[in-house]
């Protein structure tokens, strides 16, 4: 199976972003999203962000000006945007907002070829430090994912949040 088929089949990935290593899967696959939340030990109602398959997808599904999307994406930013439809990606975010990213790296471009939104959350267990090297992954996590994509050490800074056009420090 190629990467697109693996994503569409609901497989779980540890993968590089342009900032830290992430944990992700097809955001449209409810079973995969539930499994990812279990792996991360994340509260079921805490929102998850997605890597958008394209800028056009963001414009089609979120309330946002194109200029804002062009200003920040691709890059190390997560745009917190109002969903056009409240139930859209409800398994990822039960609120009216959803975090949307397009990391600036080769693996993101490969993910986008699947044509589906892809969960992007830090690979660490909730509350623990971000992971910048695959060697930092806990064994219990390694055993539960389907694929690990290692591109070497990353810079370690989580993406900057952008809400209503304003950058928010984490």
Tell whether 100 is covered by a domain. Answer: yes
Residue 161 lies in a domain: no
Token representation of residue 66: 């194109």
Q: Is residue 166 part of a domain?
A: no
pLDDT at residue 45 in the model:
75
What local confidence, expressed as pLDDT, does residue 156 receive? 80
Q: What is the pLDDT of residue 41?
A: 83
Identify the pLDDT of residue 42. Answer: 75
pLDDT (tens place) for every residue of the chain, 170 residues total: 899 999 999 999 999 999 899 999 999 999 999 999 999 887 777 899 999 999 999 999 999 999 999 999 999 999 999 999 999 999 999 999 999 999 999 999 999 999 999 999 999 876 778 899 999 998 989 999 999 999 999 988 888 999 999 999 77
Number of domains in the chain: 1
* Spatial distance between the Cα atoms of 52 and 34, rounded to a whole number of angstroms: 19
In a domain, 94, yes or no: yes
Q: Per-residue DSSP letters for 110-143?
A: HHHTT-S-EEEEESSPTTSPP--SGGGS-HHHHT
In-domain check, residue 64: yes
DSSP-derived secondary structure for 66-81: HHHHHHH-SSSEEEEE
Q: What is the pLDDT of residue 43?
A: 75
Domain membership flag for residue 52: yes
What CATH number is associated with residue 87? Answer: 3.90.870.10
Residue 47 falls inside a structural domain? yes
Q: Do the domain assignments include residue 146?
A: yes
pTM above 0.85, yes or no: yes
pLDDT at 80: 96
CA pair distance 158, 132, nearest whole angstrom: 10
pLDDT for res 20 = 93
Q: Which domain, by its residues, includes 78?
A: 3-156
């Amino acid at each position: 199976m190629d990467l697109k088929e693996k994503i569409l089949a609901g497989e779980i990935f540890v993968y590089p972003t342009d900032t830290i290593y992430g944990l992700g899967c097809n955001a449209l696959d409810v079973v995969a999203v539930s499994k990812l939340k279990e792996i991360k030990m994340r509260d079921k109602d805490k929102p998850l962000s997605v890597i958008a398959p394209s800028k056009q997808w963001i414009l089609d599904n979120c309330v946002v000006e194109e200029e804002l999307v062009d200003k920040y994406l691709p890059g190390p930013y997560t745009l917190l945007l109002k969903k056009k439809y409240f139930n859209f990606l409800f398994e990822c975010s039960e609120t009216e907002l959803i975090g949307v990213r397009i990391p600036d790296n080769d693996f993101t471009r490969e993910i986008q070829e699947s044509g589906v939104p892809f969960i992007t959350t830090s690979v660490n267990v909730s509350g623990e430090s971000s992971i910048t090297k695959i060697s930092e992954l806990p064994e219990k996590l390694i055993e539960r994912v389907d694929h690990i994509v290692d591109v070497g050490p990353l810079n370690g800074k989580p993406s900057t949040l952008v809400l209503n056009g304003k950058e928010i420090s984490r």
